[in-house]
Structure 1
Amino acid sequence: MHRRTGRLPATATAQQVRVLLSRMMRLLVTALDTGPWWRRDRWDPVEEPRIPLREHEPMGRYAVHFDAISTGWLRLAIQWHCKVGLDTGMLTWSTVHRRTAAIRVFDTFLVGQNVPGPHLAVDAAGVRRLMLDFLGYVRAKSVTRGPRAGQRLSPASLQKTAGDLEAFYAFMTENKDDAAATLTDPGWSQLGPEHTRFYRRGELGSKPRPRLEGQIIDDEAMSKVMAGLGLLGTPVEEGGFGDEQAMRITMLMALLGRRVSEICMLDPDPLLPLSSTGLKALQPGEDPQTQAPVAKLHYQQTKIDGGPDTVLVDAEVVTIIHAQQQWAARHFAEYGAPGKIPKYLFLAAMKNRNGDRPYSSLTLRNLLTRLAERLDIRDGAGRLVDFNRTHRFRHTVATGLLNAGVPLHVVQRHLGHLTPTMTMTYAQTLQSTAEAEFLRYRKITASAENIDIDPRDLYDMLELDRRSDRILPNGWCLLPPRQTCTKGNACLTCDKFATDASFLPELQAQQDRTAELIDQRRTAFLARTGEQMGEENIWLAGRRQEHDALGRVIVTLEQTRLADGTVQAVRGAGVTARTDPITENQENKH
């Protein structure tokens, strides 16, 4: 190029040429290498077809780099371990990535440790000391990238790193004679019982329960996302991102709570009819919220062996799938190789003439991050919602289903969980968040006075006595369980009535209805008798008393809503959209 034009190529062009030449060189090396494929320092399923993979492998386009492991005997051993694991099905390609990452950490730790070889130490006590030192080394490590950069590794990351190393050595101990022969290293034959389990019960900590606090997308943020999804599919020249596939993938994640890999790797025709009537798409004018399931969606269950791989879907989802099928057919007809049939519904945009590459989850996460920045989508605390963590859609759907009263075992099947253990995490988080939200609000009586009961005791009382006659549309009834109500509907004149600011919309609506009822009855009384209804009228006096009580309660709650004396209205998981009218009314008054 310099000879022809007198200029050097642009940086991007030069980079593309380097990438192309590097790939060509690797392909040439692969073709000429007659040795075992597993001894290569770089494993790339795209370049080496002998690497055993599942039919649908989420990490199938990503290479594993063993050359980052500097200790020779360790590098060769992890290669052999991964090769045997893939051959036998004991390991998946995704697990190979994770296990190799753990060995890289161990390799860095070994620098300067002067270990004698694969057996690590001359006796069991030495192995024990070394592995405790490694545990301390991992605990002291910091996250190098992402939102937690600079912080210590999470307990889950610590367990994965130490656990993967322990699993590797347990395998090598069980197969020590084969390892010594295959790797031509007699050091592996010296492994003993001390190498099968490095850590005692409790030393790695208990299995951390997934933390869902802050992972639920609130209603306001979700509404902005759904309203702004059109930008993903809008052409670039019109101010959008020009990616219809990203728009539809995000819609399916938000509606179904499926993992991003499960959506990206859908079959070209993933819909199964529920009945002989076939599939029904959403018709013009139909409300998506009123549609019952009309089909089943088959997805690739790559996370849990033996887990469910279908989910019920409604006509809105069927419509989205049909739209993507039409787009994919047009796209592949223009850019695909003649005679080829695409393997996936959502197609990678580049290097995909055979249609065997699914849409990249990394591309989607980058687009969602840019979308959130453009729309300035923020959560209730004012923080920018990090939508590149697409699992938040799954957390949100799961919590919403449980909040709507869907039985646990049904939610378990919907999420594709093999056991209810993981599903219970959502249920437990939902209940603890609901309790925290209950405790936020100041509780008052019908006379607008503070309740002389500890809020936690009050919450326990209400939960232990969940009778239908204790659940009120505008608060709670604190009548003891063995007593019956003699007040009828006169809750606002009863000292057992309690409420808080989360019921403000209901209380305000009740006050308005009471005022309207008084006007209607007084007008009817005047028409029938020709006289005004006197204030001494028993019915009117009762309604006036209720109206005045509502006024006092509303004024008190508007002045001090929360237990800490502030008036901020915040929505959380397990709480319906009651706080929207509170906020809107407050803004209108100002």
Structure 2
Amino acid sequence: MTGGRDEATIDWVEAARVRCDPQALEDLWAAVPEPMRLLCFAESSVPPEYAGAFCHDGTWRAGVDLSQLPEPMRREVAWCVFRIIELGGKIPTPGLSMLVRRLGEVIADRAGRAPASLLGLPVRDWCRQIQHAVHRRRGRLPAATTMNNIRCLLTRMMRLLVTASDTGPWWQRDRWNPVEDNRIPLREHEPMGRYSVRFDRIGTRWLRRGLQWHCKVGLETGSLSWSTVHRRIVAVGEFDGFLGGRGVEGPWLIDGAAGMRALMLEFLGHLRARPVTRGRRTGRLSPASMQRLASDVEQFYLFMTDNKDAAAAALAEPGWRRLGPEHAGFYRRGELPGKPRPRLDGQVIDDDAMTRIMGGLDLLGAAVADGGFGDEQAMRITMLVALLGRRVSEICLLDRDPLLPLSPTAPASPGDPAADGDELGLVAKLRYQQTKIDGGPDTIPVHAEVVAIIREQQQWAQRFLAEHGAPGRTPKYLFLAALMNRNGDRPYSGTVLRNLLTDLAVRLDVRDSTGALVDFNRTHRFRHTVATRLLNSGVPLHVLQRYLGHLTPTMSMTYAQTLQSTAEAEFLRFRKITADGRELEVDPRDLYDMLELDRRTDRILPNGYCLLPPRQVCGKGNACLTCDKFATDATFLPELQIQLVRTTQLITERRATFEARTGHQMGEDNIWLAGRHQERDALGRIILTLGHTRLADGTAGAIRGAGVEARTEAITGKEDNH
């Protein structure tokens, strides 16, 4: 066990060791089932329901003899064995046997001076004593690999002991591990529920304790998720580093609103200048990272300001009561970097590249001996992500049986896709875990292909648990973690999947139409691709919104874009008519290019298009209907009809006013009346022509908006004609 991360775990165990309650160890022993209170863990003594949790080798047959240990230590080791099994882990029988023998040698050498409990010495002291005992017997130190294994297992067991025997409030611990401490309130399906968090990285005690209380209250009330807790610790840790050396005395940070304002602007400058220290990126922090860090610190202080009296009482830190309005919001509108609008260019995978990717996914499931990666689950997860456009976490957290009937009259559980109906039709609903958007939809309709993939995975999971799981266990998830999962309650890791896809992307070397590498290990590209294909196939936006599990159309449009081919095809569906009712001589494709290349909104009129070149200025005011640069099509027909009615009504009203004022009728040679007659006649010709004009594809279909199936038919017809 090496590295800074492991050393930090040993330091935490040492700090927590002094808080253990001796009486709690008695309670732990009482929780061990009678059949597991053994002096020797061996093939002949361990009950069958627990035997599968031990590594079966020569050591297992001989057994792990605890008789050489003092009674308290014997109970501690036995409880640790049971606890590891209870959490779904595997007992490394050779390592456990080695550790017990070395502990017995240390106790024998010290002749009554050795502690009777594992918690009697720090991990490092136990390791030094073991090395000395081996050296005395063999004249040499144990191998580095052997010591690493011993240190690893000893740290794991002592971590379990101090976690279980620390009877103080759970939130006051410097490390929160929801796997080992079920008092930590998590959602039923938590994507990051297997990852612990560390508060000991925050050196300032009042700041660390304040953040712990904030996160505790947030988890208990549901206002914070576990992933937000991870993020907030990172942000406050950054803030703690910034405060170092600035003479901050307490939670109020600095006296006066002006000083507070200056301090937090200085923190923002600190973030702007901070270099990236992790990941593949280099240079400064991205605007999104800066915004996230600054906003999390601001939200933390907003909460503490709103609850300053309760915080001061719970933390025994009166300094929190000194928070005021200046702590409730640090930044003004526009001061924090805005989240850049996601660029859709390059996010959508084209059809040729997608075909190659899907054709190469079998490498994920193929055996390693055959040149594959040997992970069938990764293959099926990627297939579902690509077919459905779901997030990776949503697929990894699928229930064991996530399929629902498509309608109340459908079978309770979709079976054989071929027997359920049309293989190309929707045959079931898929229920997924909506862990990102509260209140968002959590079901989507799926085709027979998806049902077949899920049924195949269910069979695989059943075989896996029969071989590796605890007897009688029913898995919680459809896709299962391969390690530490005898109970079937750990989902497949999204990190493992992305690492495999990174290797697969390099091996397949899929290129898009521009020759760029398609990095589909960025799995959100599949989500962009599915959303864009649905939108361009004529799926209404509100349907796309529900399919993606979003609450607003704006969220859905972040993932989808109208393809150039679809936009052009939609424009070309309608014939273009000039002001005198004749068909426009300009090729509609040229007109589309003119409007698209220039993107001039002043050339798009309420009732048509202006064909005046971009660099020329119109000198005719609003006399578009008598201008040779005016063009329109059937999409503007409702506006043109309204304009005709209004023009006719205006002529009638003005002629009546003229007669009332002068006593004479307005003559046909009146310049104003002549102009209005020209406009009315032009409108009549245009409306008459459009009423008898078919679409560019030869059909006379009704005018429809974007996102309807009829649009796709016209596009298909156009493509078939080429």
TM bracket, shorter-chain basis? 0.7 to 0.9
Q: Does 1:369 align with 2:510?
A: no
Structure 2 CA distance for aligned equivalents of residues 90 and 249 of structure 1 = 31
Query: Letter of the aligned partner of 1:191 in structure 2?
Result: L
Q: Does 1:328 align with 2:469?
A: no
CA contact (8 A) 1:267 1:345 kept: yes
Query: Letter of the aligned partner of 2:497 in structure 1?
Result: L
1:199 is matched with which residue?
A: 331
Q: Does 1:314 align with 2:460?
A: no
Aligned with residue 51 of structure 1, among 179, 184, 189: 184
Query: Letter of the aligned partner of 2:327 in structure 1?
Result: H
Aligned with residue 384 of structure 2, among 223, 229, 252: 252
1:151 is matched with which residue?
A: 283
With over 3 angstroms needed to count, the CA separation of the structure-2 counterparts of 1:68 and 1:432, relative to structure 1, is farther
- Superposed CA offset, 1:381-425 (max 9, x none): 433333332222111111111111210110011011122220132
Aligned with residue 426 of structure 2, among 271, 293, 313: 293
- Report the CA distance between 1:183 and its aligned residue: 1.3
1:472 is matched with which residue?
A: none
CA contact (8 A) 1:435 1:459 kept: no
Aligned with residue 314 of structure 2, among 182, 195, 212: 182
- Report the CA distance between 1:174 and its aligned residue: 1.1
Structure 2 CA distance for aligned equivalents of residues 463 and 510 of structure 1 = 31
With over 3 angstroms needed to count, the CA separation of the structure-2 counterparts of 1:9 and 1:232, relative to structure 1, is farther
Q: Does 1:208 align with 2:340?
A: yes
Query: Letter of the aligned partner of 1:342 in structure 2?
Result: P
**Secondary structure of the structure 2 residue equivalent to 1:68:** coil
- Superposed CA offset, 1:418-451 (max 9, x none): 2222013235x4379988999xxxxx97799999
Query: Letter of the aligned partner of 1:126 in structure 2?
Result: G
With over 3 angstroms needed to count, the CA separation of the structure-2 counterparts of 1:430 and 1:51, relative to structure 1, is same
Structure 1 CA distance for aligned equivalents of residues 719 and 437 of structure 2 = 49
- Superposed CA offset, 1:154-191 (max 9, x none): 22222211111111001111111121122121111100
- Report the CA distance between 1:338 and its aligned residue: 0.5
- TM-score in terms of structure 1 length: 0.73
With over 3 angstroms needed to count, the CA separation of the structure-2 counterparts of 1:33 and 1:380, relative to structure 1, is same
1:132 is matched with which residue?
A: 265
2:533 is matched with which residue?
A: 400
Structure 2 CA distance for aligned equivalents of residues 458 and 177 of structure 1 = 57
2:471 is matched with which residue?
A: 338
- Report the CA distance between 1:370 and its aligned residue: 0.6
With over 3 angstroms needed to count, the CA separation of the structure-2 counterparts of 1:422 and 1:458, relative to structure 1, is closer
Q: CA RMSD in A?
A: 3.7
CA contact (8 A) 1:233 1:247 kept: yes
> 1:105-504 alignment to 2 at 5 Å?
105-147=238-280, 149-275=281-407, 276-278=409-411, 279=414, 281-283=416-418, 291-427=424-560, 429-430=561-562, 453=594, 456-457=597-598, 480-481=632-633, 482=686, 484=689
1:558 is matched with which residue?
A: none
1:528 is matched with which residue?
A: none
- Superposed CA offset, 1:455-494 (max 9, x none): 5358977998899xxxxxxxxxx96434959999999xxx
1:96 is matched with which residue?
A: 229
Query: Letter of the aligned partner of 1:420 in structure 2?
Result: P
**Secondary structure of the structure 2 residue equivalent to 1:297:** strand
CA contact (8 A) 2:389 2:531 kept: yes
> 1:32-51 alignment to 2 at 5 Å?
32-51=165-184
Aligned length: 478
With over 3 angstroms needed to count, the CA separation of the structure-2 counterparts of 1:206 and 1:37, relative to structure 1, is same
Structure 1 CA distance for aligned equivalents of residues 447 and 457 of structure 2 = 16
- Report the CA distance between 1:36 and its aligned residue: 1.4
With over 3 angstroms needed to count, the CA separation of the structure-2 counterparts of 1:230 and 1:274, relative to structure 1, is same
- Report the CA distance between 1:330 and its aligned residue: 0.7
Structure 2 CA distance for aligned equivalents of residues 380 and 172 of structure 1 = 53
Query: Letter of the aligned partner of 1:456 in structure 2?
Result: L
Query: Letter of the aligned partner of 1:230 in structure 2?
Result: D
Structure 1 CA distance for aligned equivalents of residues 139 and 537 of structure 2 = 68
With over 3 angstroms needed to count, the CA separation of the structure-2 counterparts of 1:159 and 1:490, relative to structure 1, is closer
**Secondary structure of the structure 2 residue equivalent to 1:312:** strand
> 1:511-590 alignment to 2 at 5 Å?
none
- TM-score in terms of structure 2 length: 0.60
Structure 1 CA distance for aligned equivalents of residues 502 and 262 of structure 2 = 45
Structure 1 CA distance for aligned equivalents of residues 231 and 520 of structure 2 = 24
**Secondary structure of the structure 2 residue equivalent to 1:31:** helix
Higher mean displacement: 210-219 or 348-357: 210-219
2:615 is matched with which residue?
A: none
Structure 2 CA distance for aligned equivalents of residues 368 and 297 of structure 1 = 24
Gaps of 5+ in 2: 1-97, 99-133, 571-584, 610-629, 634-685, 698-715
2:200 is matched with which residue?
A: 67
- Report the CA distance between 1:199 and its aligned residue: 0.4
Structure 2 CA distance for aligned equivalents of residues 18 and 231 of structure 1 = 38
Gaps of 5+ in 1: 439-443, 468-477, 492-504, 512-590
With over 3 angstroms needed to count, the CA separation of the structure-2 counterparts of 1:509 and 1:430, relative to structure 1, is closer
With over 3 angstroms needed to count, the CA separation of the structure-2 counterparts of 1:10 and 1:259, relative to structure 1, is farther
- Report the CA distance between 1:327 and its aligned residue: 0.5
Structure 1 CA distance for aligned equivalents of residues 165 and 304 of structure 2 = 31
With over 3 angstroms needed to count, the CA separation of the structure-2 counterparts of 1:15 and 1:397, relative to structure 1, is farther
2:576 is matched with which residue?
A: none
Query: Letter of the aligned partner of 1:184 in structure 2?
Result: A
- Superposed CA offset, 1:40-95 (max 9, x none): 11111111111111111100000101111111111111011101111111111111
With over 3 angstroms needed to count, the CA separation of the structure-2 counterparts of 1:274 and 1:453, relative to structure 1, is closer
Structure 1 CA distance for aligned equivalents of residues 475 and 398 of structure 2 = 11
Percent of aligned pairs with the same amino acid: 62
Structure 1 CA distance for aligned equivalents of residues 608 and 352 of structure 2 = 30
Higher mean displacement: 18-27 or 451-460: 451-460
Higher mean displacement: 159-168 or 192-201: 159-168
- Report the CA distance between 1:250 and its aligned residue: 0.3
CA contact (8 A) 1:280 1:315 kept: no
- Report the CA distance between 1:245 and its aligned residue: 0.4
CA contact (8 A) 1:445 1:451 kept: no
Query: Letter of the aligned partner of 1:68 in structure 2?
Result: R
Query: Letter of the aligned partner of 1:163 in structure 2?
Result: S
Query: Letter of the aligned partner of 1:122 in structure 2?
Result: D
- Report the CA distance between 1:454 and its aligned residue: 6.6
- Report the CA distance between 1:257 and its aligned residue: 0.7
**Secondary structure of the structure 2 residue equivalent to 1:430:** coil
Structure 2 CA distance for aligned equivalents of residues 398 and 447 of structure 1 = 29
CA contact (8 A) 1:365 1:387 kept: no
